[in-house]
Amino acid sequence: MARSDKPKTIDGLMRYLRDSKHIAIKGSVQKRKLRNIGYFHGYKGYRFITTSSKQISYSNFDELMAIYDFDMKLKTLFFPQVMFLETALKNRVLELVLEETQSSSFNTIFAKALDDYKSYSPTGKTFRSITEEDGANSRFKKQIYKRLRLRDEVYSALSRDYNRDRNTVKHFYEQDMNVPIWAIFESITLGTFAQFVSCLNSDIRKKLSTSLKIRVPDDANNRLIENVVYTIKDLRNSIAHNDIIFDVRFKTSQTRRQVDAFVKNTTGIDSVNFSSIDDYLILICCMLKQLDVNKTEILSFITDFSQAIERLRSKIPVNIYNKIIPTSTPRKLIALKDYIRK
């Protein structure tokens, strides 16, 4: 018999969950909750951990709601901290770029500061083989392309915001003025900002690292900050779009080993690989401390996270909880608090 494409009512969805998924759900309260979270964003989104092949064996709807509430709490906790980091890092970079170029013009900054590609130039270098020379030429071309792509993304962001009547952009264009770099930073995404930092020359990147009190061994190539930004980018975007974050399914690629090593060397916490949400908490707290945020504020953030996972543990079976929160998490949180208090 062919499956009907007729949309299910809320009552029909409840019957489907009971009969097909063996999840106990009944009554007006649970009906209201299902209606509010939605079947597709709610049940379909929270029925697995990380990938659809890792299904959660719910026995009742309250267990699903506990994970939904936990995820919403995480977004509430993380969003202001991630936004603070984005703003603070942009301002640190802005200060250094303005100091280096003595100009707020993007064209001047593009020429004088976003010129890391020059360090890849094969001109004047000696190569042991054609293969080695071809590799150098390829890397040089790749860096030029990255720089040109950055310029395209900046102008695309400005065009988008002008079309949306964003005042910070509209004012300058309609006065026939160049949009200053500070206004550009208001328009570009966090991913484009990471690319901006990546294109900065080594001298500026080194000054950025120094301003954040990053130890030289942790940032020998002066690329740690761009890698940190790339690491938190997907988390930030997922929160902003109200996507699910509790199981870090937002992670689009492997995090840079440099970030893993930085966190371990700075905090003393090992086994940080960003496969669980607590590792993002650790990185954010680490960066907040580098930015001289008040210790009490950071400790409060950690405590709120600890309370959220304790609340989750009290509401779902232990076998499900252990799939979401690693057994190493309590130890990591204790070590993180010790580090912050130093």
- The answer to whether 261 and 231 have CB atoms below 8 angstroms apart is no
- How far is Cα 146 from Cα 188, in angstroms, rounded to an integer? 16
* pLDDT for residue 1: 42
pLDDT of residue 299: 98
Structure tokens at 92: 């640190």
Contact by Cβ (8 Å): 101, 108: yes
* Tens digits of residue pLDDT in 216-230: 999 999 999 999 999
At residue 55, what are phi and psi to the nearest 5 degrees?
Answer: -70, 145
Question: Can you tell me the distance from the alpha carbon of 89 to that of 81, in angstroms, rounded to the nearest whole number?
Answer: 12
What does the pLDDT look like over 47-73, one tens digit per residue?
999 999 999 999 999 999 999 999 999
CA–CA separation, 52 and 258 (whole Å): 30
- Per-residue confidence (pLDDT) for residue 49, from 0 to 100: 96
Q: Find out whether 46 and 323 touch, Cβ atoms under 8 Å.
A: no
Q: Provide the residue-wise pLDDT of the chain in tens; the chain has 342 residues.
A: 445 556 679 999 999 999 999 999 999 999 999 999 988 888 899 999 999 999 999 999 999 999 999 999 999 999 999 999 999 999 999 999 999 999 999 999 999 999 999 999 999 999 999 999 999 999 999 999 999 999 999 999 999 999 999 998 999 999 999 999 999 999 999 999 999 999 999 999 999 999 999 999 999 999 999 999 999 999 999 999 999 999 999 998 777 789 999 999 999 999 899 999 999 999 999 999 999 999 999 999 999 999 999 999 999 999 999 999 999 999 999 999 999 999
- The CA–CA distances, whole Å, from 197 to 12, 97, 190 equal 52, 10, 11
Between the alpha carbon of residue 313 and those of residues 61, 137, 244, 310, 317, the distances in Å are 16, 55, 19, 5, 7
Q: Which long-range contacts (CB under 8 A, 24 or more apart) does 193-196 make?
A: 193/86, 193/89, 193/90, 193/93, 193/229, 194/226, 194/229, 194/230, 194/233, 195/146, 195/149, 195/150, 195/153, 195/226, 196/93, 196/114, 196/150, 196/154
**In the chain, what percentage of residues exceed pLDDT 90?**
93
What local confidence, expressed as pLDDT, does residue 80 receive?
97
The amino acid that residue 166 corresponds to is: R
Q: How many other CB atoms sit within 10 Å of the CB of residue 153? A: 17
Residue type, 86: E
d(CA 232, CA 250): 10
**In terms of C-beta distances under 8 Å and separation of at least 24 residues, what long-range contacts does 132-135 make, across chains too?**
none
232, 85 contact by CB (below 8 A): yes
- Selection from 195, 180, 84, 217 nearest residue 145 by Cα: 195
| The pLDDT of residue 105 | 97
